[in-house]
């Protein structure tokens, strides 16, 4: 769904290669998951969590952010032009 919105956006790159910036959006999705998980973890620390498992989300936030960083690092090492 995100890719479809990106490809159909008027400022999107030419359609012959709609995946040009896919790595950016993949990293963005990992960072978004990390931010959500961090919010869940914060609520668990405040005693306001909706789940007994919420304290585990802190570890997931770190993991998701690390994945986002790995995607960007891999992309930077293979990209020939700057974003």
CA gap 6, 13 in Å, rounded: 9
Average pLDDT over residues 47-72: 91
The sign of the torsion formed by the CA atoms of 54, 60, 61, 62 equals: positive
CB–CB of 59/33 below 8 Å?
Answer: no
pTM of the prediction? 0.70
**Residue 82 confidence (pLDDT) above 60:** no
**Residue 65 confidence (pLDDT) above 50:** yes
**Residue 19 confidence (pLDDT) above 80:** no
Structure confidence by residue, pLDDT tens digits, 27-58? 999 999 999 999 999 999 998 888 888 989 99
CA gap 39, 60 in Å, rounded: 11
């Amino acid at each position: 769904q995100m890719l479809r919105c990106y490809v159909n956006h008027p400022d999107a790159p030419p359609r012959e290669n709609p995946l040009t910036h896919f790595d950016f959006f993949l990293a963005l999705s990992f960072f978004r998951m990390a931010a959500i998980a961090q919010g869940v973890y914060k609520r668990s620390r405040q005693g306001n969590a909706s789940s007994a498992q919420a304290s585990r989300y802190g570890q997931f936030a770190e993991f998701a952010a690390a994945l986002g960083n790995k995607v960007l690092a891999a992309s930077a090492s293979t990209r020939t032009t700057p974003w």
